[in-house]
C-alpha cells in the first residue's frame, strides 16, 4: 500500500490539536539545544583555559562552591520542569477529552487491519481492511470510540498527532478535526504479531462534507455503484480482508505463511471438519465468513476472526462470487 511520505522529521500537522504535541516538542527541543551549548562550550573552554601548565601545579582558585550558582541551577530547571508538566497535562486533557458536538464513529482493530463503523441514514456502514481508505471531511469534529477484538493495537495518525492504545475488553477514545484535505497514513503503533507492519490504512480528508456524504452513501451499498461486478468487488475485499491468511494459489498450512486453507478450487470441494464432512457451497462459505468458529476444517486452528457485523450481506456475496471465479478442483461438480 502506498502511504504518503512526509520527510523524516515531524510530518505536516493537519489537525486542530496538533499544536498540543508540537508546541511542547519544540519548546523542549530548543531548551535542550540551548542548554547543551551553554554547558559544553564553557566546559571545553574552562578545560583548555585552566589546564595544568606545569607538572603538580595547584589550581589558581581554591573556591569549591558558589551558593548563588548552585541555587540557580537547581531552582530554574525545577520551575521549567513544572511548567512543561503543566503544558503537557493541558495538552493531554485537550487530546483525550472530546469537545461537544463531535460525530461518533466506532473503530475496531483486529489482527491485522482497521475497520471504522460510520452511520449513514441510521444504518451502520463498516469500512475496513488492509489499505482501506477512511474518509472524513475537513473542518468537522469526529470522536473515535475504539476497541480491539484480539490483542492490543495502537491507533496512530502522525499528521494529526493523535495516538492511543486500542485494547480488547475496553473502550478508548480519541478525537480530531482535520484542517487540510489530503491523504494521511494510519498506522498501528503497538507490536501485535506477524503482520503488524502491514496494519496500514489511509485517512482521506475531503474538502467538503457533501463529498464525504456521497462516499458514505456509496460505501453503504457498493452494488449500486455503476459498473458493479460482484467478483471484482470480492477480489478487492479478498485483498484487504483475507489475503494475509488465505492464498489463491493452493498454498496452505504448515510451512507456508498462510494460516488458513487456500481459496483455490475451494467451491464445490468436500472438506472434513470437526462436525463431519461438508460440501463447500454458498451457505457454508457464508457461515465460514460470518461465524468461522462453527465448523473447523481438520488440521486448522480456531484463529479466524468473526466477520459477522464486519462484512455486509452484499460484501459476503461479492466474496463468494470471487471464490467461485477461482479455478475449480479436478472432479468438482
318 makes contact with ligand CUA (CB under 6 A)? no
Quote the CA–CA distance of 303 and 305 in Å, as a whole number. Answer: 6
- How many chain residues interact with ligand CUA (CB under 6 A)? 9
Among 140, 196, 269, 286, binds ligand CUA (CB under 6 A): 196
- The answer to whether 238 touches 131, Cβ cutoff 8 Å, is no
190 makes contact with ligand CUA (CB under 6 A)? yes
| Contacting residues for 297 by C-beta, under 8 A, at least 6 apart | 261, 271, 272, 273
Stretch that binds ligand CUA, among 92-100, 192-200, 209-217, 255-263 (CB under 6 A): 192-200
132 makes contact with ligand CUA (CB under 6 A)? no
309 torsion bin: left (phi>0), alpha (psi -120 to 50), beta (else): left
Quote the CA–CA distance of 219 and 124 in Å, as a whole number. Answer: 10
- The answer to whether 241 touches 311, Cβ cutoff 8 Å, is yes
Quote the CA–CA distance of 184 and 203 in Å, as a whole number. Answer: 5
Quote the CA–CA distance of 64 and 42 in Å, as a whole number. Answer: 18
CB of 190 to ligand CUA, least distance (A): 5
316 makes contact with ligand CUA (CB under 6 A)? no
CB of 331 to ligand CUA, least distance (A): 41
163 makes contact with ligand CUA (CB under 6 A)? no
CB of 112 to ligand CUA, least distance (A): 6
Q: What is the 3-state secondary structure (H, E, C) of 83-116?
A: HHHHHHHHHHHHHHCCCCCCEEEEEEEECCEEEE
144 makes contact with ligand CUA (CB under 6 A)? no
CB nearer ligand CUA, residue 153 or residue 233: 153
Among 135, 153, 246, 264, binds ligand CUA (CB under 6 A): 153
Calculate the CA 295 to chain-centre distance.
31
Q: What is the 3-state secondary structure (H, E, C) of 259-312?
A: CCCCCCCCCCCEEEECCEEEECCHHHHHHHHHCCCCCCECCCCCCCCCCECCEC
CB of 219 to ligand CUA, least distance (A): 23
Which cell numbers hold the place of 44? 571545553
CB of 110 to ligand CUA, least distance (A): 8
Stretch that binds ligand CUA, among 85-93, 185-193, 201-209, 267-275 (CB under 6 A): 185-193
Residues in 251-280 at the binding interface with ligand CUA, rule: CB under 6 A: none
Among 18, 192, 263, 304, binds ligand CUA (CB under 6 A): 192
CB nearer ligand CUA, residue 305 or residue 329: 305
Among 17, 18, 199, 318, binds ligand CUA (CB under 6 A): 199
Quote the CA–CA distance of 15 and 281 in Å, as a whole number. Answer: 48
Stretch that binds ligand CUA, among 62-70, 123-131, 139-147, 189-197 (CB under 6 A): 189-197
Q: How many residues appear in the chain?
A: 333
178 makes contact with ligand CUA (CB under 6 A)? no
Quote the CA–CA distance of 18 and 159 in Å, as a whole number. Answer: 8
What is the binding site for ligand CUA (CB under 6 A)?
Answer: 109, 112, 153, 188, 190-192, 196, 199
Amino acid at each position: 500500500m502506498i502511504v504518503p511520505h512526509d520527510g523524516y522529521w515531524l510530518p505536516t500537522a493537519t489537525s486542530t490539536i496538533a499544536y498540543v504535541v508540537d508546541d511542547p516538542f519544540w519548546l523542549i527541543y530548543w531548551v535542550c539545544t540551548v542548554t547543551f551549548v551553554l554547558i559544553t562550550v564553557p566546559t571545553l573552554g574552562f578545560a583548555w583555559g585552566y589546564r595544568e601548565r606545569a607538572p603538580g601545579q595547584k589550581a589558581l582558585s581554591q573556591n569549591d562552591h558558589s551558593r548563588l550558582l548552585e541555587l540557580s541551577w537547581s531552582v530554574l530547571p525545577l520551575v521549567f520542569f513544572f511548567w512543561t508538566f503543566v503544558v503537557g497535562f493541558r495538552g493531554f486533557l485537550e487530546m483525550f477529552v472530546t469537545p461537544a458536538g463531535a460525530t461518533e464513529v466506532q473503530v475496531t482493530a483486529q489482527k491485522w487491519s482497521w475497520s471504522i463503523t460510520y452511520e449513514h441514514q441510521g444504518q451502520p456502514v463498516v469500512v475496513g481492511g488492509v489499505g482501506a481508505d477512511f474518509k472524513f471531511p475537513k473542518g468537522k469534529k469526529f470522536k473515535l470510540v475504539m476497541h480491539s477484538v484480539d490483542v492490543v493495537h495502537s491507533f496512530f495518525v502522525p499528521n494529526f498527532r493523535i495516538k492511543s492504545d486500542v485494547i480488547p475488553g475496553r473502550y478508548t477514545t480519541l478525537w480530531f478535526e482535520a484542517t487540510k484535505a489530503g491523504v494521511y497514513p494510519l498506522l498501528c503503533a503497538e507490536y501485535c504479531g506477524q503482520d503488524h507492519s502491514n496494519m496500514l490504512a489511509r485517512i482521506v480528508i475531503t474538502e467538503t462534507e457533501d463529498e464525504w456524504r456521497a462516499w458514505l452513501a456509496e460505501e453503504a451499498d457498493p452494488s449500486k455503484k455503476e459498473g458493479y461486478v460482484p467478483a471484482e468487488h470480492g477480489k478487492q475485499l479478498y485483498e484487504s480482508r483475507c489475503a494475509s491468511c488465505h492464498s489463491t494459489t493452493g498454498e496452505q498450512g504448515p510451512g507456508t505463511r498462510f494460516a488458513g486453507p487456500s481459496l483455490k478450487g475451494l467451491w464445490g470441494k468436500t472438506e472434513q471438519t470437526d462436525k463431519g464432512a461438508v460440501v463447500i457451497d454458498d451457505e457454508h462459505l457464508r457461515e465460514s465468513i460470518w461465524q468461522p468458529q462453527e465448523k473447523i476444517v481438520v488440521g486448522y486452528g480456531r484463529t479466524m476472526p468473526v466477520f459477522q457485523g464486519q462484512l455486509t450481506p452484499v460484501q459476503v456475496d461479492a466474496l463468494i462470487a470471487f471464490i467461485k471465479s477461482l479455478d475449480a478442483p479436478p472432479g468438482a461438480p
